Amino acid sequence: MLDGKRLRQNCLNFWELLALNIALISPTMTAALIVPLMYGTAGNAGWLSYAFGAVMLMFVALSLNQFTKRSAGTGSMYAYAVRGLGPTTGALAGWCLIWAYTFIGTAGMTGFTTFAQQLLGMVNVNVPAILCFAVCGALAWFLAYRDIQLSTILMLGLEAISVTLILILIGIALTAHGFAPDTDQIALKGFSFSNLGLGVVVAIFSLVGFECATQFGHEAKNPTKTIPRAVIWSLVVTGLFFVLVTYTETMALKNNKPTLDQLTAPLTTLSMALKVGWLAPLIDAGAMVSFFSLAASCMNAGARLIYAMGQQGIFHERTGVPHKSFGTPHIALTVMLALEFLIPTGMILGKVQVTDAFNDAGTFGAFGFLGGYFFICIAAPMYLKKIGELKAPDIALAAAAVLLLLVPAVGSVYPVPSPPLNMFPYIFLSYFALGFVWFMALKLRQERELSRPSVAIEELLKSA
């Protein structure tokens, strides 16, 4: 339904919302490119890092669902933080999430490029990385611009095909090893708590996106029921998948030369080792389209945050205007397209390899999500107190979530990681400080009072 003033309403069902979440989490991304990064970080404790990360984020999801089961709107993660913490602090939560969606979207672009170049290389065709970025971004923008429902259905289909192919390969690998347990992984050989902390940061890189459906409250059908379910189920399904995939790849490639942490295409290597090389190009193609879905999902989610904040006057008012015919945030989508294209392009022009750009972008994105999750966990009990529904278990839930989030936050700075990772937290903190200065300047400059939620925020949170 369109009224010319809002985004299209009541067009996304539970499965389409789940597709948005899973597309942003991108199970294929982890299996295809992040497991080597995890192995290089946490070694035999990689599966445990994913298990811990999934449980940790489940506490965040339950805190988030304190809001989702009561109200829904566009850009809701930002609007929820405003409800609990006030406009300025809530804007900082949105600022963190824009960074997160931008860099995870950049990871999607670079992942798409990695596998597009690999597939084209099989037929001796070389395509510049920047051209791949342009193709991925333009197609994702066009689909999102025309119809969010079409975009989500395509994401669901593409990711389902890709994950099915990976599960076939995992099944073959486990069968080849006779389902014998990997004692090195079970015993956590070489385990240290510092490695676990950095491993959880990598796990967050993989698992972030379970909250994506909250950005589509006006477009969802029965949002106070479908969105909470999509949040929980996307985290459960992908968390189990990541534990299984990490355990299997680590076991099956433990004696491989080069080692797992040095591989850029572990699934291809595994296919060849298991003598099912015919799976390799199919999995590579599945990975390519999955990374496209990731870039598109981040573009959609980030655009709705910009749209919501544009309606608040935080960004230019034109970013908060929907398309008259399609009911999509077309201007905000164009902003996200520009960011997702220019960042990896700048990296490539700066002589950063595509795979390194992928790893760096994912790590940067994880910091943004950590910031957003901290804000939402603190906002939940404050919001419940304001509406007179705060209970002791709600405080305990929020406290547990914050304490668990401290594990990757502290682990990212201590022990001090090797360069350039040692600088990443401080680059993100500089961006955060810039946002704080910007929002304080807005507060002083704008005529309207920002010490309370405005009518626009109430409208954003109105149940569809």
- Kindly report the CATH class assigned to 14-411: mainly alpha
Q: Residue 255 and residue 177: Cα distance in Å, rounded?
A: 13
Cβ proximity of 110 and 344 under 8 Å: yes
446 has pLDDT over 90: no
pLDDT bracket for residue 408 (50, 70, 90): confident
Helix (H, G, I), strand (E, B) or coil at 220: strand
| DSSP state string for 352-385 | --HHHHHHHHHHHHHHHHHHHHHHHHHHHHHHHH
pLDDT tens across 410-440, in order?
Answer: 878 887 888 888 999 999 999 999 999 998 8
User: How sure is the predictor about 6, in pLDDT bands with cuts at 50, 70 and 90?
Assistant: low
Q: How far is CA 356 from CA 1, 111, 227, in A?
A: 43, 10, 34
pLDDT confidence of residue 238: 96
Cα(21)–Cα(210) distance, integer angstroms: 5
Strand-pairing partners, residue 12, are 220
**Does the pLDDT at position 7 exceed 90?**
no
pLDDT averaged over every residue in the chain = 88
- In percent, how much of the chain has pLDDT > 70? 92
pLDDT of res. 222: 92
| CB-based contact 263:138 (threshold 8 Å) | no
334: helix, coil or strand?
Answer: helix
Average pLDDT over residues 141-163: 78
User: Tokens in use for 8?
Assistant: 């299209």
363, pLDDT greater than 60:
yes
So what's the pLDDT on residue 450? 45
Looking at the predicted structure, is the pLDDT value of residue 349 above 70?
A: yes
Query: Which of these ranges, 30-39, 156-165, 355-364, has the smallest mean pLDDT?
Result: 156-165
- Backbone φ, ψ for residue 4 (5° rounding): 85, -10
Q: What is the pLDDT of residues 219-250, one digit of tens each?
A: 889 999 999 999 999 999 999 999 999 999 99
Cis peptide before 228 (omega within 30 of 0): no
Mean pLDDT of 311-322: 89
CA-to-CA distance for 324 and 331, rounded, in angstroms? 12
Q: Taking residues 176-186, what's their average pLDDT?
A: 93
Give the alpha-carbon dihedral of 222, 225, 231, 237, to 10 degrees: -110
Neighbours of 182 (CB within 10 A): 17
Q: How many residues does the chain have?
A: 464
What pLDDT is attached to residue 19? 82
Does residue 46 surpass a pLDDT of 80? yes
- The domains of the chain are located at 14-411
- pLDDT average, residue stretch 95-111: 95
Using the predicted structure, report yes or no on whether residue 325 has a pLDDT greater than 50. yes
Both tokens assigned to 378: 């603190």
Q: What is the DSSP letter of 30?
A: I
DSSP string, 77-121: HHHHHHHHH-HHHHHHHHHHHHHHHHHHHHHHHHHHHHHHHHHHH
CA–CA distance, 268 with 284 (Å, rounded to integer): 8
- Helix 354-386 with 193-207: angle, nearest 10 deg: 90
Assess whether pLDDT exceeds 70 at residue 62: yes
CA dihedral 179, 180, 185, 188 (to 10 degrees): 140
Q: Based on the number of CB atoms within 10 Å of its own CB, is 276 exposed (0-12), middle (13-18) or buried (19 or more)?
A: middle
The alpha carbon torsion through 120, 205, 355, 254 (nearest 10 deg) reads -90
40 vs 75 pLDDT, higher one: 40
Question: CA 33 to CA 356: how far, in whole Å?
Answer: 11
Nearest to 118 by CA among 256, 267, 245: 267
On whether the CB atoms of residues 265 and 284 are closer than 8 A, the answer is yes
- What is the distance between the alpha carbons of residues 23 and 370, in angstroms, rounded to a whole number? 19
pLDDT score, position 151: 63
Which amino acid makes up residue 353?
Answer: Q
The C-alpha atoms of residue 77 and residue 375 are separated, in whole angstroms, by 10
d(CA 125, CA 409): 43
pLDDT tens digit sequence for 253-307: 988 999 999 998 899 999 999 999 999 899 999 889 889 988 988 998 899 999 9
Cα 223 to Cα 338: distance, rounded to the nearest angstrom: 30
Q: Cα–Cα distance between 48 and 426 in angstroms, integer?
A: 27
pLDDT: is 456 or 131 the higher one?
A: 131
